[in-house]
Every structure is written in structure tokens, then in C-alpha cells.
Amino acid sequence: MFRHRYHILVMSKDNGRPFGLVRVRKGQPPTAGMDYYTPDKGWQHLKWPSAIKLTGPRRSTQPISVWRVRGAKRSVARREKNFEYHYYVVVTDRRPKDDPYALIRRWVPETGPGRDQEFTPKLDWEHTLILDDIGRDKLDGESERITEEEAQRYVELFTRRYQERGAQ
């Protein structure tokens, strides 16, 4: 079993309240084994560890002991109770709105930064950088915000698409 180092993520504008909790495997660089905590799914391994920038202009990390992890989890859970989702479809020249490239939901909390998730062939929502990549011109396409009702129709469309391809 791995031993971990734990860090809370804080924003200066939030008076130092934690907005996230990460753990890094000891003896390895953060890019090799970083996990991010969410109350609904527990510890999730980051496929793209650089997606969570541990430091930034108004962001920092504070190492915490194993004994403080439970309290940090409660604090993150309280923060995550007040949120909403914004939904987007990603369209390209080859993938118009009626058959989009991707379906993204952006988790927008009351305080602190949000995160983006893509509806995947596993028929689940997983962390993604697609909207960031479009914003940085690393990916061709445009994102278009849609309503929650439209998002449900796209979930059904993507579910059929993935099942037809045998991706389940």
C-alpha cells in the first residue's frame, strides 16, 4: 500500500478555506500519482495531473497531516453542497450540434474554482481539459452552452452512440 502526502488547496480570496484536497504518493513526483478527492466519488486518480495546478496567482497548497484529512474532507463536502452545473456541447466542422464531438458539464461551486467533466464511453462523467484546450487553441472546435434538458437528450444520444460502437 502506498503512503501519501496530503495537501489542501486554498484560494486567497476565500479567506484560506479549502476548496480541494489532493494526495500525492510519497517518493514520486506529483505527476506520477496524484489523486483528487470528491465527496461523491471519493479519491479519483487524475489522468492529467497537471489539470490541478497546485499553485497559482491566488492559489496555494498547504500540507496537512493524515490526522487532518477527515476534517478537510468535511470542509470540501460543505463547499460542494452549493453548486450548479453548466452544460456544453463541443462542435467542430465535422461534428455539428446535432452530433457533437463531446458533451461537457462544468461544475460551478459557490466559491473557488470549478472543474469540467466529459460524458465518456463508460457512461459516466470524468475529468476533462477539452474546454481549456479549445480556449488555448490546442483543439479545433467551439463550445456552446446548452440547457440541462438539452444535456439530458445529449446523454441519451451519446449513450446510444457508445453502445452501438460496443464501448461499454
Q: How confident is the model at residue 49 (pLDDT cuts 50, 70, 90)?
A: very low
Convert the pLDDT of each residue in 19-30 to its tens digit: 677 777 776 665
What's phi and psi for 38, nearest 5 deg? -130, 140
**Are both 96 and 120 inside the same structural domain?**
yes
Domain ranges, residue 60: 4-80
**Are both 59 and 92 inside the same structural domain?**
no
**Are both 94 and 75 inside the same structural domain?**
no
**Are both 152 and 124 inside the same structural domain?**
yes
Distance from C-alpha of 51 to C-alpha of 65, rounded to nearest angstrom: 24
**Are both 95 and 138 inside the same structural domain?**
yes
Among 35, 50, 80, residue at a domain's last position: 80
The C-alpha angle with vertex 56 and arms to 43 and 75, in degrees rounded to 5, equals 40
Convert the pLDDT of each residue in 97-134 to its tens digit: 999 999 999 988 766 667 889 999 988 888 888 998 99
What's phi and psi for 20, nearest 5 deg? -160, 165
pTM: 0.58
